[in-house]
Amino acid sequence: MKKHVLIILDGAADLTKVNGKTPLQTASTPNIDFITRMGFTGLLKTLHKNLPKGSIVALLGILGFDPKKFYPHGRASCEAKALDIDLNKGDLAFRTNLACIENNILTSYNANYIKDVQASKLIDLLNKNLKNKFSDFELYHNSDFRNTLIIRNANVHPLNLVCPEPHENMGEEFILSELIKGLDNKSKIIASKINSYISQSAEILKNKRANVIIPWSPSSPLHLPRFSLLKKGKCGIITHMDFLQGIAKASGLDCFKMGNGNWNTDYNGKGSKLVDLLDQDYHFIICHINAPDEASHMGDIKKKIYSIEQIDKYIVSKVIKYFKNNPKEFGSVIITTDHYTNTFIKNESSRRRESHSIGPVPFVIWNNVYEDDVSHFSEVDMLQGKYADPPINNVNLLKFIN
Protein backbone atom coordinates (compact mmCIF):
# COMPACT_ATOMS: atom_id res chain seq x y z
CA MET A 1 0.00 0.00 0.00
CA LYS A 2 1.33 3.40 -0.98
CA LYS A 3 1.34 5.92 1.86
CA HIS A 4 0.94 9.67 1.69
CA VAL A 5 1.73 12.52 4.10
CA LEU A 6 0.44 16.09 4.15
CA ILE A 7 2.31 18.53 6.42
CA ILE A 8 0.63 21.90 7.04
CA LEU A 9 2.69 24.77 8.46
CA ASP A 10 -0.17 26.96 9.69
CA GLY A 11 0.34 30.64 8.93
CA ALA A 12 3.94 30.18 7.76
CA ALA A 13 3.67 32.44 4.70
CA ASP A 14 4.39 36.09 5.46
CA LEU A 15 4.68 39.44 3.71
CA THR A 16 7.02 40.74 6.41
CA LYS A 17 10.68 40.78 5.46
CA VAL A 18 13.79 41.18 7.58
CA ASN A 19 16.96 41.93 5.64
CA GLY A 20 14.91 41.46 2.48
CA LYS A 21 13.73 37.93 3.33
CA THR A 22 10.52 36.41 4.69
CA PRO A 23 10.63 33.87 7.56
CA LEU A 24 10.33 30.99 5.06
CA GLN A 25 13.25 32.39 3.07
CA THR A 26 15.30 32.95 6.21
CA ALA A 27 14.69 29.67 8.04
CA SER A 28 17.19 26.84 7.66
CA THR A 29 15.09 24.00 6.23
CA PRO A 30 17.37 21.38 4.64
CA ASN A 31 14.72 18.65 4.78
CA ILE A 32 11.91 20.71 3.29
CA ASP A 33 14.36 21.90 0.65
CA PHE A 34 15.27 18.27 -0.14
CA ILE A 35 11.60 17.55 -0.79
CA THR A 36 11.36 20.74 -2.87
CA ARG A 37 14.30 19.68 -5.05
CA MET A 38 12.85 16.20 -5.47
CA GLY A 39 9.31 17.31 -6.24
CA PHE A 40 7.23 19.91 -8.05
CA THR A 41 5.96 23.16 -6.65
CA GLY A 42 3.53 25.96 -7.12
CA LEU A 43 1.05 28.27 -5.48
CA LEU A 44 -2.19 27.28 -3.80
CA LYS A 45 -5.28 29.47 -3.68
CA THR A 46 -6.71 28.91 -0.20
CA LEU A 47 -8.78 32.00 0.62
CA HIS A 48 -11.68 33.76 -1.06
CA LYS A 49 -12.83 37.39 -1.22
CA ASN A 50 -16.34 36.57 -0.03
CA LEU A 51 -15.27 34.40 2.94
CA PRO A 52 -13.27 35.19 6.11
CA LYS A 53 -9.50 35.10 5.77
CA GLY A 54 -8.72 32.35 8.25
CA SER A 55 -7.54 28.81 8.85
CA ILE A 56 -10.90 27.07 8.78
CA VAL A 57 -11.71 28.32 5.27
CA ALA A 58 -8.24 27.42 4.01
CA LEU A 59 -8.06 24.02 5.70
CA LEU A 60 -11.54 22.91 4.69
CA GLY A 61 -10.46 23.47 1.09
CA ILE A 62 -7.09 21.77 1.53
CA LEU A 63 -8.93 18.70 2.85
CA GLY A 64 -11.17 18.71 -0.20
CA PHE A 65 -14.30 20.33 1.29
CA ASP A 66 -15.36 23.35 -0.76
CA PRO A 67 -15.61 26.15 1.84
CA LYS A 68 -18.18 27.99 -0.28
CA LYS A 69 -20.47 25.03 0.39
CA PHE A 70 -19.40 23.72 3.81
CA TYR A 71 -18.05 26.71 5.79
CA PRO A 72 -20.30 26.99 8.91
CA HIS A 73 -19.91 30.80 9.27
CA GLY A 74 -17.19 30.49 11.91
CA ARG A 75 -15.22 27.68 13.49
CA ALA A 76 -16.83 27.45 16.93
CA SER A 77 -19.19 24.71 15.79
CA CYS A 78 -16.12 22.69 14.74
CA GLU A 79 -14.65 23.19 18.21
CA ALA A 80 -17.96 22.11 19.74
CA LYS A 81 -17.86 18.96 17.60
CA ALA A 82 -14.40 18.24 19.00
CA LEU A 83 -16.02 18.15 22.44
CA ASP A 84 -18.77 15.84 21.12
CA ILE A 85 -21.34 18.61 21.47
CA ASP A 86 -24.02 18.44 18.82
CA LEU A 87 -25.73 21.57 17.57
CA ASN A 88 -29.34 21.63 16.46
CA LYS A 89 -30.87 23.89 13.86
CA GLY A 90 -31.16 27.36 15.42
CA ASP A 91 -28.28 26.85 17.89
CA LEU A 92 -25.19 29.05 17.78
CA ALA A 93 -21.62 28.31 18.87
CA PHE A 94 -19.03 30.97 19.74
CA ARG A 95 -15.30 30.75 20.20
CA THR A 96 -14.77 32.22 23.66
CA ASN A 97 -11.46 33.53 24.95
CA LEU A 98 -10.45 33.93 28.54
CA ALA A 99 -8.80 37.35 28.40
CA CYS A 100 -7.65 40.34 30.45
CA ILE A 101 -8.83 43.95 30.44
CA GLU A 102 -7.57 46.89 32.46
CA ASN A 103 -9.56 50.13 32.60
CA ASN A 104 -11.67 48.81 29.71
CA ILE A 105 -8.56 48.24 27.56
CA LEU A 106 -7.90 44.74 26.22
CA THR A 107 -4.40 43.91 27.48
CA SER A 108 -4.23 40.18 26.68
CA TYR A 109 -6.43 38.19 24.29
CA ASN A 110 -5.31 34.92 25.95
CA ALA A 111 -5.07 35.89 29.65
CA ASN A 112 -1.28 35.81 29.33
CA TYR A 113 -1.45 32.25 28.02
CA ILE A 114 -3.45 30.85 30.89
CA LYS A 115 -3.06 27.07 31.15
CA ASP A 116 -5.67 24.32 31.26
CA VAL A 117 -5.78 23.75 35.02
CA GLN A 118 -6.42 27.39 35.88
CA ALA A 119 -8.67 28.00 32.90
CA SER A 120 -10.97 25.04 33.50
CA LYS A 121 -11.49 26.14 37.12
CA LEU A 122 -12.59 29.59 35.96
CA ILE A 123 -15.05 28.09 33.47
CA ASP A 124 -16.45 25.88 36.24
CA LEU A 125 -16.82 28.97 38.43
CA LEU A 126 -18.76 30.82 35.74
CA ASN A 127 -21.05 27.86 35.09
CA LYS A 128 -21.74 27.45 38.81
CA ASN A 129 -22.80 31.09 39.14
CA LEU A 130 -24.55 31.76 35.84
CA LYS A 131 -26.19 28.55 34.66
CA ASN A 132 -29.52 29.24 36.37
CA LYS A 133 -29.65 32.84 35.12
CA PHE A 134 -28.80 31.86 31.53
CA SER A 135 -30.37 28.44 31.11
CA ASP A 136 -29.95 28.44 27.32
CA PHE A 137 -26.21 29.22 27.56
CA GLU A 138 -23.65 26.39 27.78
CA LEU A 139 -19.97 27.22 28.35
CA TYR A 140 -17.36 24.51 27.76
CA HIS A 141 -13.58 24.53 28.22
CA ASN A 142 -11.48 23.46 25.21
CA SER A 143 -7.81 24.12 25.96
CA ASP A 144 -5.83 26.86 27.67
CA PHE A 145 -7.58 30.19 26.96
CA ARG A 146 -9.89 28.64 24.35
CA ASN A 147 -13.50 27.81 25.20
CA THR A 148 -16.82 27.28 23.44
CA LEU A 149 -20.10 29.02 24.24
CA ILE A 150 -23.31 27.42 22.96
CA ILE A 151 -26.59 29.35 22.83
CA ARG A 152 -29.52 27.04 22.28
CA ASN A 153 -32.43 28.12 20.09
CA ALA A 154 -30.89 31.49 19.27
CA ASN A 155 -32.49 31.34 15.81
CA VAL A 156 -30.40 34.16 14.34
CA HIS A 157 -27.95 33.97 11.46
CA PRO A 158 -24.34 34.20 12.69
CA LEU A 159 -23.56 36.89 10.11
CA ASN A 160 -26.08 39.16 11.86
CA LEU A 161 -23.90 39.31 14.97
CA VAL A 162 -20.83 41.55 15.00
CA CYS A 163 -18.18 40.25 17.41
CA PRO A 164 -14.66 41.73 17.70
CA GLU A 165 -11.83 39.23 17.30
CA PRO A 166 -9.71 39.42 20.48
CA HIS A 167 -6.32 38.78 18.85
CA GLU A 168 -6.90 41.61 16.36
CA ASN A 169 -7.96 44.17 18.98
CA MET A 170 -5.16 44.29 21.52
CA GLY A 171 -5.03 47.75 23.11
CA GLU A 172 -8.58 48.60 22.08
CA GLU A 173 -11.30 49.81 24.44
CA PHE A 174 -13.91 47.15 25.21
CA ILE A 175 -17.21 48.29 26.71
CA LEU A 176 -18.57 44.96 27.83
CA SER A 177 -22.22 45.98 27.92
CA GLU A 178 -21.96 46.94 24.24
CA LEU A 179 -19.32 44.48 23.03
CA ILE A 180 -21.44 42.41 20.64
CA LYS A 181 -23.83 44.09 18.25
CA GLY A 182 -26.80 42.80 16.28
CA LEU A 183 -27.71 43.90 12.78
CA ASP A 184 -31.46 43.32 12.99
CA ASN A 185 -34.06 43.32 15.75
CA LYS A 186 -33.81 39.61 16.57
CA SER A 187 -30.01 39.58 16.65
CA LYS A 188 -29.97 42.75 18.77
CA ILE A 189 -31.98 40.93 21.45
CA ILE A 190 -29.50 38.02 21.43
CA ALA A 191 -26.53 40.43 21.44
CA SER A 192 -27.93 42.23 24.48
CA LYS A 193 -28.32 38.95 26.32
CA ILE A 194 -24.77 37.90 25.47
CA ASN A 195 -23.41 41.26 26.62
CA SER A 196 -25.21 40.81 29.93
CA TYR A 197 -23.64 37.36 30.25
CA ILE A 198 -20.18 38.84 29.52
CA SER A 199 -20.65 41.67 32.05
CA GLN A 200 -21.80 39.33 34.80
CA SER A 201 -18.91 37.01 34.02
CA ALA A 202 -16.50 39.90 34.48
CA GLU A 203 -17.92 40.57 37.95
CA ILE A 204 -17.36 36.93 38.91
CA LEU A 205 -13.83 36.91 37.45
CA LYS A 206 -12.73 40.17 39.08
CA ASN A 207 -9.12 39.89 40.32
CA LYS A 208 -8.67 36.47 38.68
CA ARG A 209 -5.87 35.47 36.28
CA ALA A 210 -8.42 36.03 33.48
CA ASN A 211 -10.98 38.72 34.24
CA VAL A 212 -13.23 38.59 31.18
CA ILE A 213 -14.60 36.21 28.57
CA ILE A 214 -14.91 37.33 24.95
CA PRO A 215 -17.24 35.32 22.68
CA TRP A 216 -16.55 35.73 18.97
CA SER A 217 -16.76 33.97 15.59
CA PRO A 218 -20.39 32.78 15.90
CA SER A 219 -21.15 29.75 13.78
CA SER A 220 -23.96 27.49 12.71
CA PRO A 221 -23.91 23.65 12.89
CA LEU A 222 -21.17 21.84 10.94
CA HIS A 223 -22.12 19.23 8.35
CA LEU A 224 -19.47 17.48 6.23
CA PRO A 225 -19.44 14.47 3.91
CA ARG A 226 -17.06 11.57 4.53
CA PHE A 227 -13.41 12.38 3.81
CA SER A 228 -12.76 11.34 0.22
CA LEU A 229 -9.53 9.34 0.70
CA LEU A 230 -11.04 7.03 3.31
CA LYS A 231 -12.20 4.80 0.46
CA LYS A 232 -8.53 3.93 -0.14
CA GLY A 233 -7.54 3.15 3.45
CA LYS A 234 -7.11 4.49 6.97
CA CYS A 235 -6.65 8.27 7.21
CA GLY A 236 -5.72 10.36 10.24
CA ILE A 237 -4.78 13.83 11.36
CA ILE A 238 -2.29 14.93 14.02
CA THR A 239 -3.17 18.31 15.49
CA HIS A 240 -3.76 20.21 18.70
CA MET A 241 -6.38 22.58 17.33
CA ASP A 242 -9.93 21.92 18.45
CA PHE A 243 -11.58 23.04 15.22
CA LEU A 244 -9.54 20.48 13.23
CA GLN A 245 -10.51 17.77 15.69
CA GLY A 246 -14.14 18.73 15.03
CA ILE A 247 -13.64 18.59 11.26
CA ALA A 248 -12.02 15.17 11.70
CA LYS A 249 -14.94 13.82 13.72
CA ALA A 250 -17.47 15.26 11.27
CA SER A 251 -15.75 13.68 8.24
CA GLY A 252 -14.60 10.32 9.62
CA LEU A 253 -10.88 11.04 10.01
CA ASP A 254 -9.05 9.50 12.96
CA CYS A 255 -7.71 12.34 15.11
CA PHE A 256 -4.64 12.35 17.35
CA LYS A 257 -4.19 15.33 19.66
CA MET A 258 -0.53 16.22 20.11
CA GLY A 259 1.46 19.19 21.40
CA ASN A 260 -0.10 22.59 21.95
CA GLY A 261 -1.20 25.48 19.77
CA ASN A 262 1.80 27.66 20.62
CA TRP A 263 5.26 28.26 19.12
CA ASN A 264 6.83 25.82 21.62
CA THR A 265 4.70 22.82 20.73
CA ASP A 266 5.99 19.24 20.93
CA TYR A 267 7.56 19.07 17.47
CA ASN A 268 9.38 15.83 18.22
CA GLY A 269 6.21 14.22 19.55
CA LYS A 270 4.27 15.17 16.43
CA GLY A 271 7.00 13.76 14.19
CA SER A 272 7.20 10.52 16.17
CA LYS A 273 3.43 10.11 16.09
CA LEU A 274 3.44 10.59 12.34
CA VAL A 275 5.96 7.78 11.90
CA ASP A 276 3.98 5.57 14.30
CA LEU A 277 0.88 5.99 12.12
CA LEU A 278 2.87 5.13 9.00
CA ASP A 279 3.97 1.97 10.80
CA GLN A 280 0.30 1.26 11.58
CA ASP A 281 -0.55 1.21 7.87
CA TYR A 282 -2.34 4.52 7.64
CA HIS A 283 -2.79 5.32 3.97
CA PHE A 284 -2.94 9.11 4.40
CA ILE A 285 -1.74 11.19 7.34
CA ILE A 286 -2.11 14.93 7.90
CA CYS A 287 0.21 16.66 10.36
CA HIS A 288 -0.91 20.18 11.25
CA ILE A 289 1.39 22.50 13.20
CA ASN A 290 -0.08 25.78 14.48
CA ALA A 291 3.21 27.15 15.81
CA PRO A 292 4.15 29.56 12.96
CA ASP A 293 0.68 31.10 13.07
CA GLU A 294 0.75 31.69 16.82
CA ALA A 295 4.26 33.19 16.65
CA SER A 296 2.94 35.56 13.97
CA HIS A 297 0.04 36.68 16.14
CA MET A 298 2.52 37.28 18.95
CA GLY A 299 4.44 39.58 16.61
CA ASP A 300 7.63 37.55 17.16
CA ILE A 301 9.37 36.86 13.86
CA LYS A 302 12.28 35.08 15.60
CA LYS A 303 9.90 32.54 17.11
CA LYS A 304 8.24 32.14 13.72
CA ILE A 305 11.55 31.29 12.07
CA TYR A 306 12.38 28.96 14.98
CA SER A 307 9.06 27.12 14.61
CA ILE A 308 9.61 26.55 10.89
CA GLU A 309 13.09 25.19 11.59
CA GLN A 310 11.78 22.84 14.29
CA ILE A 311 9.14 21.47 11.92
CA ASP A 312 11.91 20.77 9.42
CA LYS A 313 14.18 19.18 12.02
CA TYR A 314 11.75 17.03 13.98
CA ILE A 315 8.86 16.30 11.62
CA VAL A 316 9.93 16.49 7.97
CA SER A 317 13.24 14.73 8.66
CA LYS A 318 11.43 11.75 10.21
CA VAL A 319 9.12 11.42 7.19
CA ILE A 320 12.07 11.43 4.77
CA LYS A 321 13.91 8.84 6.86
CA TYR A 322 10.83 6.59 7.01
CA PHE A 323 10.31 6.55 3.26
CA LYS A 324 14.03 6.06 2.57
CA ASN A 325 13.86 2.99 4.82
CA ASN A 326 10.56 1.82 3.28
CA PRO A 327 10.77 2.84 -0.39
CA LYS A 328 8.06 0.42 -1.54
CA GLU A 329 5.54 2.24 0.66
CA PHE A 330 6.34 5.68 -0.72
CA GLY A 331 3.41 7.46 -2.31
CA SER A 332 3.90 11.19 -1.81
CA VAL A 333 4.74 13.96 0.62
CA ILE A 334 2.91 17.28 0.38
CA ILE A 335 4.02 20.37 2.29
CA THR A 336 2.08 23.60 2.33
CA THR A 337 0.86 26.42 4.51
CA ASP A 338 -2.77 27.39 4.79
CA HIS A 339 -2.52 31.18 4.53
CA TYR A 340 -0.32 34.19 5.13
CA THR A 341 -0.09 35.38 8.73
CA ASN A 342 1.77 38.67 8.56
CA THR A 343 3.92 39.27 11.60
CA PHE A 344 4.14 43.01 12.09
CA ILE A 345 3.11 44.99 9.04
CA LYS A 346 1.93 48.28 10.57
CA ASN A 347 0.35 51.52 9.47
CA GLU A 348 0.48 55.01 10.93
CA SER A 349 -1.50 54.00 14.04
CA SER A 350 0.95 51.15 14.77
CA ARG A 351 -1.74 48.51 14.15
CA ARG A 352 -1.26 45.67 11.76
CA ARG A 353 -2.96 46.43 8.43
CA GLU A 354 -4.02 42.85 7.96
CA SER A 355 -3.25 39.60 9.67
CA HIS A 356 -4.21 37.08 7.00
CA SER A 357 -3.76 38.28 3.42
CA ILE A 358 -5.49 36.54 0.57
CA GLY A 359 -2.52 35.74 -1.70
CA PRO A 360 -1.82 32.15 -2.81
CA VAL A 361 0.57 30.18 -0.62
CA PRO A 362 3.52 27.93 -1.57
CA PHE A 363 3.21 24.16 -1.81
CA VAL A 364 5.43 21.27 -2.84
CA ILE A 365 4.60 17.67 -3.76
CA TRP A 366 7.24 14.95 -3.87
CA ASN A 367 5.97 11.77 -5.54
CA ASN A 368 8.96 10.55 -7.63
CA VAL A 369 6.96 11.28 -10.77
CA TYR A 370 7.09 15.01 -11.46
CA GLU A 371 9.58 17.69 -10.55
CA ASP A 372 10.59 21.22 -11.47
CA ASP A 373 13.62 23.46 -10.95
CA VAL A 374 12.66 25.06 -7.61
CA SER A 375 15.05 24.23 -4.78
CA HIS A 376 13.82 26.21 -1.74
CA PHE A 377 10.38 26.36 -0.11
CA SER A 378 9.20 29.96 0.10
CA GLU A 379 6.60 32.42 -1.15
CA VAL A 380 9.16 33.88 -3.56
CA ASP A 381 10.76 30.69 -4.89
CA MET A 382 7.40 29.11 -5.71
CA LEU A 383 6.73 31.89 -8.25
CA GLN A 384 8.89 29.76 -10.58
CA GLY A 385 7.04 26.53 -9.80
CA LYS A 386 5.26 24.21 -12.20
CA TYR A 387 1.85 25.28 -10.86
CA ALA A 388 2.53 28.93 -10.03
CA ASP A 389 0.64 30.58 -12.84
CA PRO A 390 -2.22 30.20 -12.48
CA PRO A 391 -2.30 28.96 -8.86
CA ILE A 392 -4.31 25.81 -8.26
CA ASN A 393 -7.43 25.82 -6.10
CA ASN A 394 -6.86 24.12 -2.76
CA VAL A 395 -9.90 21.84 -3.18
CA ASN A 396 -7.92 20.18 -6.00
CA LEU A 397 -4.74 19.55 -3.98
CA LEU A 398 -5.54 15.99 -2.93
CA LYS A 399 -6.32 15.02 -6.51
CA PHE A 400 -2.55 14.71 -6.97
CA ILE A 401 -2.65 11.64 -4.68
CA ASN A 402 -2.95 8.43 -6.69
* CATH code matching the domain that covers 3-71+225-400, chosen among 3.40.720.10, 3.40.50.1970, 3.40.50.150, 3.40.190.10: 3.40.720.10
The answer to whether 285 and 5 have CB atoms below 8 angstroms apart is yes
Contacts of 248 (CB under 8 A, 6+ apart): 237, 239, 254, 255
R_g (Cα) of the chain, nearest Å: 21
Q: What span, in angstroms and rounded, lies between the C-alpha atoms of 287 and 335?
A: 10
SS3 content of the chain, % helix, strand, coil (to 5): 40, 25, 40
Q: What span, in angstroms and rounded, lies between the C-alpha atoms of 176 and 214?
A: 9
Q: What secondary structure letter does DSSP report for 392?
A: E
pLDDT (tens digit, 0 to 9) for every residue of the chain, 402 residues total?
899 999 999 999 999 999 999 999 999 999 999 999 999 999 999 999 888 888 999 999 999 999 999 998 888 999 899 889 999 999 999 999 999 999 999 999 999 999 999 999 999 999 999 999 999 999 999 889 999 999 999 999 999 999 999 988 999 999 999 999 999 999 999 999 999 999 999 999 999 999 999 999 999 999 999 999 999 999 999 999 989 999 999 999 999 999 998 999 999 999 999 999 999 999 999 999 999 999 998 889 999 999 999 999 999 999 999 999 999 999 999 999 999 999 875 544 444 456 788 899 999 999 999 999 999 999 999 999 999 999 999 999 999 987
pLDDT digits (tens, 9 = 90+) for 237-281: 999 998 999 999 999 999 999 999 899 999 999 999 999 999 999
Domain with CATH 3.40.720.10 in the chain: 3-71+225-400
pLDDT digits (tens, 9 = 90+) for 351-381: 445 678 889 999 999 999 999 999 999 999 9
